Structure 1
Amino acid sequence: MKKVIFFILIFIIICFAIPMIFTIKRKTEEASTNIEANKIEEFSYDYAEYSKIKLLHSCTNQVEEISLDEYLIRSCVCRNACRL
């Protein structure tokens, strides 16, 4: 009876110990990932380039060039009107 209990305890310890051993991370790996995560990239965009967009009307295959602000305002109004 003592052997059976001993083997069950060994089995339970092995079931918990093996995953703990294989999931240990090295400190150097953590340090390198933290350094990469802290890098901040700054991009300088010229938003004046994107002030006009071209829309393709699927029915007539005509291209219309409108300002981005007008397009965004029109799409918001249409979405809000559709919800009513």
Structure 2
Amino acid sequence: MSTYLFEANYVGEGIRGLMREGGTGRREALVAALKSVGGSVESFYYAFGETDVLGVIEVPEPSDAAKKTPAYRAPGQ
């Protein structure tokens, strides 16, 4: 299992989900997506400024985790 620090910004459906469900629902969506590939969320923080979310995740295969989290986009992309 590998551990990764991530930064993300809400785009598309992620923004709509945040407005509809609030922050807790978006975190739970990430937890569920990572759990489906055998991963987990170690920490999750909302931020002010250019980055919306910072956190630490654990995943067995990083490429699988990236496919399961389309509501997030790395800053600058």
Tell me the TM-score range normalised by the shorter chain. Answer: under 0.3
Structure (1 or 2) with the larger CA radius of gyration: 1
**Higher share in helix:** 1
TM-score by length of 1: 0.19
TM-score by length of 2: 0.21
RCO greater where, 1 or 2, for CA within 8 Å and sep 6 or more?
Answer: 2
